């Protein structure tokens, strides 16, 4: 009954360097927070690995010594030159010129301090970052509102607050933040008239009725592959009316859904483990061929998730930046500064027409085949999803759905 993809199958694109190695620590961070969210609150989850990459890469450019080496290790690079040449960094520099995406980066420094010229040159040329002098010492709340306003504008108001109350105060020296916005329409839209309510099985055994999308045609093809323990679906996004990238297009995007065979939290956690264990897992398990499908159901969903990443980053090997790091490459008097918070928020909405997703990361630093039989793809249980750039395999967004009704 099932068409099975060979183990270690390939993605739809083998072009360009793989981003998996560079993104591995960000994916491990996503796994830690995602599994905890599913097991603890039973909540849906989304993170933007490339947003976190951008914030930490920008910060690494302003650090020195052991602080820089730990951040480079987390980012999967041996040097700043290697980091700047990595696939995610290449993509970050192009996001503002693409149809579906926009990206903004900013640095806010207390007016009693001065950013180092070399850091500002790198921030501007590589990340398009703007710099602003603010008065953290006398009006930290106003500075916090300015950062949040920057993020809100850059995400089309989808994220209005990345820095929560109390995240900055009179001792804050620098805040780094970025904002990512994605809006993509499906190359093969779902038929709105065919959307129907059906059961979805949550990890605790509860069954909820949710709106499922389908194509409305009896015979059709989708990019589906079956692997031991799970199956995969690739949903390409349009590029100027055609999901096949024109020759001049440098980057194009798709959503990947990884559906475990079981509905339990263990099945979801096992799939997370597989996704972060091998650098090329996402690339190698992206279906390359559209094949006939039988039953085909994907739920609509819309939700947001936010978290503070310091404790998980410590577990993954970043210590000095939180305990008297060397930020002298960023700001005068930067020796001995420490990060007090790495704040991340992301949101996503998936419907019959496509996807709208946004994310922001802020870092606060204070002073101290047709012959095959049809394959079913019925996502009626918890699943992972990712929004991926095909050429670089860079992961813009990663998350899971345990209940499509939960926002």
25 or 60: which carries more pLDDT confidence?
60
For residues 350-364, one letter each, b for 16 or more C-beta atoms within 10 angstroms of the residue's C-beta and e for the rest, the string is bbbebbbbbbbbbbb
Position 407 in a domain: no
180 or 19: which carries more pLDDT confidence?
180
Position 6 in a domain: no
Is residue 87 domain-shared with residue 162, that is, in the same domain?
Answer: yes
Is residue 30 domain-shared with residue 83, that is, in the same domain?
Answer: yes
Query: Is the pLDDT confidence value at 223 over 70?
Result: yes
Q: What is the Cα–Cα distance from 169 to 300, expressed in whole angstroms?
A: 40
Is residue 221 domain-shared with residue 272, that is, in the same domain?
Answer: yes
Residue 323 C-alpha from the chain's centroid = 27
Is residue 288 domain-shared with residue 395, that is, in the same domain?
Answer: yes
Is residue 119 domain-shared with residue 56, that is, in the same domain?
Answer: yes
Beta-carbon contacts of residue 223 (< 8 Å; ≥ 6 apart): 12, 233, 234, 235, 236, 287, 288, 289, 290, 291
Report the DSSP beta bridge partners of residue 103.
180
Give the end-to-end CA distance of the chain in Å, rounded to a whole number: 36
Handedness of CA 7, 10, 16, 20 (dihedral sign): negative
Is residue 196 domain-shared with residue 295, that is, in the same domain?
Answer: yes
Q: Strand, coil or helix: what is 42? A: coil
Position 339 in a domain: yes
Is residue 332 domain-shared with residue 280, that is, in the same domain?
Answer: no
Position 5 in a domain: no
Q: What is the Cα–Cα distance from 363 to 176, expressed in whole angstroms?
A: 5
Position 11 in a domain: no
Q: What are phi and psi of 378, to 5 degrees?
A: -120, 100
- % residues pLDDT > 90 (the chain): 69
Which tens digit of pLDDT belongs to each residue from 314-369?
999 999 999 989 999 999 888 889 999 999 999 999 999 999 999 999 999 988 64
Is residue 29 domain-shared with residue 92, that is, in the same domain?
Answer: yes
Kindly report the number of other CB atoms within 10 A of residue 298's CB atom.
25
Q: What is the CA angle 291-7-34, rounded to 5?
A: 90
Position 356 in a domain: yes
Q: What is the Cα–Cα distance from 180 to 47, expressed in whole angstroms?
A: 11
Beta-carbon contacts of residue 97 (< 8 Å; ≥ 6 apart): none
Beta-carbon contacts of residue 112 (< 8 Å; ≥ 6 apart): 137
Is residue 318 domain-shared with residue 275, that is, in the same domain?
Answer: no
- Rounded to two decimals, the pTM is 0.88
The CATH number of whichever domain residue 383 belongs to comes to 2.30.39.10
On the 0-12 / 13-18 / 19+ scale of CB atoms within 10 A, 206 is exposed
Strands (E) located in 130-171: 130-134
Is residue 307 domain-shared with residue 358, that is, in the same domain?
Answer: yes
Position 9 in a domain: no
Which tens digit of pLDDT belongs to each residue from 112-144?
999 999 999 999 988 899 999 999 999 999 999
Is residue 84 domain-shared with residue 155, that is, in the same domain?
Answer: yes
The confidence band for 12, taking pLDDT boundaries of 50, 70 and 90, is very low
Q: Which domain holds residue 195?
A: 185-299+370-401
On the 0-12 / 13-18 / 19+ scale of CB atoms within 10 A, 132 is middle
Q: Which of 149, 156, 121, 119 is nearest to 134 (CA)?
A: 149
Q: How many domains does the chain have?
A: 2
Average pLDDT, the chain: 87
231 or 8: which carries more pLDDT confidence?
231
Position 8 in a domain: no
Is residue 335 domain-shared with residue 229, that is, in the same domain?
Answer: no
The CATH number of whichever domain residue 358 belongs to comes to 3.30.497.10
């Amino acid at each position: 009954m099932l068409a099975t993809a060979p183990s270690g199958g390939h993605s739809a694109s083998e072009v360009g360097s793989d981003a998996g190695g560079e993104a591995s620590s960000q994916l491990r961070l996503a796994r830690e927070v995602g599994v905890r969210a599913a097991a603890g609150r039973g909540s849906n989850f989304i993170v933007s690995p490339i947003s976190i990459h951008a914030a930490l890469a920008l910060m690494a450019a302003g650090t020195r010594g052991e602080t820089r080496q730990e951040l480079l290790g987390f980012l999967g690079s041996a040097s700043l030159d290697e980091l700047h040449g990595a696939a995610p960094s290449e993509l970050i520099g192009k996001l503002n010129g693409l149809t579906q995406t926009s990206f903004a980066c900013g640095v806010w420094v207390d007016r009693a301090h001065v950013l180092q010229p070399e850091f500002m040159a790198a921030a501007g040329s590589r990340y398009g970052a703007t710099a602003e002098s603010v008065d953290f010492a006398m009006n930290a709340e106003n500075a916090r509102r300015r950062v949040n306003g920057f993020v809100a504008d850059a995400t089309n108001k989808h994220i209005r607050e990345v820095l929560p109350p109390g995240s900055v105060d009179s001792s804050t020296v620098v805040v780094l933040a970025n904002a990512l916005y994605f809006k993509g329409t499906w190359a093969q839209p779902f038929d709105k008239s065919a959307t129907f309510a059906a059961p979805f099985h949550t990890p605790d055994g509860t069954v909820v009725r949710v709106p499922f999308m389908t194509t409305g045609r009896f015979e059709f093809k989708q990019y589906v592959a079956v692997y031991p323990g799970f199956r995969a679906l690739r949903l390409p996004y349009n590029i100027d009316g055609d999901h096949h990238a024109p020759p001049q297009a440098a980057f194009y995007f798709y959503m990947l859904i990884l559906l475990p065979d079981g509905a339990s939290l263990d099945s979801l956690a096992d799939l997370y483990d597989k996704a972060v264990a091998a650098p090329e897992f996402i690339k190698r398990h992206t279906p390359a061929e559209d094949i006939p499908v039988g039953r085909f159901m994907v739920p609509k969903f819309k939700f947001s998730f936010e978290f503070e990443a310091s404790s998980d980053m410590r577990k993954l090997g970043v210590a000095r930046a939180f305990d008297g790091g060397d930020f002298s490459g960023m700001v005068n008097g930067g020796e001995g500064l420490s990060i007090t918070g790495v704040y991340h928020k992301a949101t996503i909405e998936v419907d019959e027409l496509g996807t709208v997703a946004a994310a922001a990361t802020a870092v606060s630093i204070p002073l101290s085949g047709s012959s095959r039989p049809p394959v079913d793809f019925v996502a009626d249980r918890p699943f992972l999803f990712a929004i991926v750039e095909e050429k670089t395999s860079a992961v813009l967004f990663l998350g899971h759905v345990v209940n499509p009704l939960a926002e």
